[in-house]
Amino acid sequence: MGSDLRLSPRERAVLTAIVEAYIATGEPVASQALARHLGNKDGMSPATLRNVMAALADQGLLDQPHTSAGRIPTARAFRFYVEHLSGPQIAILAPQRREQIEESFANVGTSQQFLERTSHVLALISSGLGIALAAQEFHSLEHIHFSRLAAGRVLAVVITKGGTVLDRVLSLDRDLTTDELEAAARYLNENFHGWSVERIRTELARSLEAERSEYDRLMRSLEELYRNGALEAETGAPVFFMEGVANLLAGETDRDRLRTMLQALEARERLIELLNAYVDARQRSVRVVVGLEESIPELRDFVLIGANARLGQENLGTLAVIGPTRIQYQETINAVSYIAQLSGRIFQPPQ
């Protein structure tokens, strides 16, 4: 990691200049071009710069591709660069960018809409892959309703706290009356409002046995609805939005690498595991991870910039950008941070 490095002010200035030049051009940085870029800062001639660059290469911070005269930053160099971006010198998001983001979130009314819009906005701003993953609490129950369609057929409508509407037509072994359906829905709404769907299913399985004698008729109705899929497991599946795959593939010309990258990006479960591994639900700051190949080898030379969106103490979900190591770090970090905080303003209850 970059934190165990001890660079002199001169070495740090040169490394920062090389990283920023490489981000801007994507080309190896030569000492002559670097001298022009630095404007003979601190009297560093091309010869002096070559010596400094050689020292940085010895520390594993620069590579020399092929026979090129220029150097490119390594993953270790990007880590060092990012660690020294996170201090107080980090720039505030530009007003026009802030306005663009806020306009993009106009008319967002539910958590699901917020997360979906987030993946789109992050892909647009970063020219990378924008990802938004709902927290587990996303599928907590707001309201459930049962409608009798015909004998033995019932429509179950589950509305979650995240604003998702999940409907399912149930085929029952025993016909239930409208009164029985209303009683079952009332019991669930009154006793399990705000509970996660998984927790409701666990509690129902327990209470169907423990309380059968006390609520015999009601429990029989609930058992019929529950066992036929009223709270089916798929309602607890992760809500995950992703946009911008084309951004990542645009600069890649190697066909084999393109194919493996596509396969990796299509495996959403792996990306969800990546987010859960690197972005802790309790953290308040933006996390930057350089070197995703440790988790997904196909994403070598890519970086993850992620944060949690929160509503007070509640975790709404994780939002992140996956992009090349040449990504515009400062602007992307600021955009991720701003959008993560924006959720609290959008869903702030009126005073």
pLDDT tens readout for residues 118-158: 999 999 999 899 999 887 665 678 888 899 898 888 888 88
Please give the model's pTM, rounded to 2 decimal places.
0.70
- For residues 213 and 169, is the Cβ–Cβ distance under 8 A? no
Give the per-residue pLDDT at 183: 87
Give yes or no for residue 161 having a pLDDT over 80. no
Q: Architecture of domain 138-236 in CATH?
A: 2-Layer Sandwich (3.30)
How many Å apart are CA 340 and CA 135, to the nearest integer? 13
Q: Where in the chain is the domain with CATH 1.10.10.10?
A: 2-74
Polymer length of the chain: 351
Is pLDDT of 209 > 70? no
CATH class for the region spanning 95-136+238-346: alpha beta
Region of 39 (left: φ > 0; alpha: ψ -120 to 50; beta: rest) is left
Instruction: Give backbone dihedrals phi and psi of 283, rounded to 5 degrees, phi first.
Output: -75, 150
Q: Where in the chain is the domain with CATH 3.30.390.60?
A: 138-236
Mean local confidence (pLDDT), 182-211: 79
Q: Is the pLDDT reported for residue 1 higher than 50?
A: no
Q: Over pLDDT 70: what percentage of the chain?
A: 81
Mean pLDDT of the chain: 81
Q: What is the mean pLDDT of residues 64-79?
A: 84
pLDDT at position 32 is 83
The pLDDT of residue 351 is 44
For the segment 176-182, the average pLDDT, to the nearest whole number, is 88
Whether 330 contacts 109, CB under 8 Å: no
| pLDDT range class, residue 94, cuts 50, 70, 90 | confident
Top pLDDT among 65 and 271 is at: 271
- Give the residue ranges of DSSP H helices in the chain: 9-25, 31-38, 46-58, 75-83, 95-104, 111-126, 178-192, 197-210, 216-227, 245-250, 255-266, 268-278, 329-346
Delimiting residues of CATH 3.30.450.40 domain(s) in the chain: 95-136+238-346
Cβ atoms 341, 308 nearer than 8 A? no
Which one is the CATH code of 2-74: 3.30.300.130, 3.20.20.10, 3.40.50.170, 1.10.10.10? Answer: 1.10.10.10
- Tell me the two tokens of residue 214: 């006390």
> What digits encode the pLDDT tens for the residues 77-89?
999 998 887 554 4
